[in-house]
Structure 1
Amino acid sequence: MLGTGKLGFSFVRITALLVSCNRLWIGTGNGVVISVPLNDLAGSTSSKMIPRCCMANAQLSFHGHRDAVKFFVSVPMNPEIQNQYPNKRDMLVLSGGEGYIDFRLESTSTITRL
């Protein structure tokens, strides 16, 4: 639930999920992309522990889609650095959906069909 509605919240339909770059990427039915940092459990030695996330630290993307976010894909940014430093993971996260909206602009004329 996000924003304001009749009861103070609006229901948001989740249409895409991805875990990459120590973040949970959430795509919604109205084209909004939300990125939530995942916190490692301090001192845990088990690899089966589920990381925690706090929606208070969530970030909304200024870039979105006219319709539902259909998918996410994570692509390595620089293969040479990954060969030298295998623990460093620079990834580019892309979202797919119909059209493009720049939420920083107030006008609906920014809607573009791709």
Structure 2
Amino acid sequence: MKARMEAASKAEELESQLDPEFPSFMKRMLHSHVVRGFWLGLPSHFCDTYLPKNDCTITLVDEKDEEFESKYLAYKKGLSGGWAGFALDHVIRDGDSTVFQLIKPTTFKVRKPTGH
């Protein structure tokens, strides 16, 4: 529990330092996001405000500016295909908190503050 709180605190601090011109949100990772299922539901309000109303490909950009494609399901407001590979490649674990910043209409810069 302490590690989860620390991860969230670091992610909130990171998010507060980002350029407010580009919308962002923090997501606390659960078992279903990064171990089984690999379904990543996104905040409804964020999706309704900033993301396309139809299914599309969302590009995830890591801290090395490498790009990964993920399938965005608009009606479910989340990422499916492609998210698992990104999460595994970047060692995103249950309990981590990750910051998503929309840098283009269908591109997120994804940051995981150091910790785990």
TM-score (norm 1): 0.28
Larger RCO, structure (CA 8 Å, separation 6 or more): 2
TM-score (norm 2): 0.28
Greater strand proportion: 1
Which structure has the greater CA radius of gyration?
Answer: 1
Greater helix proportion: 2
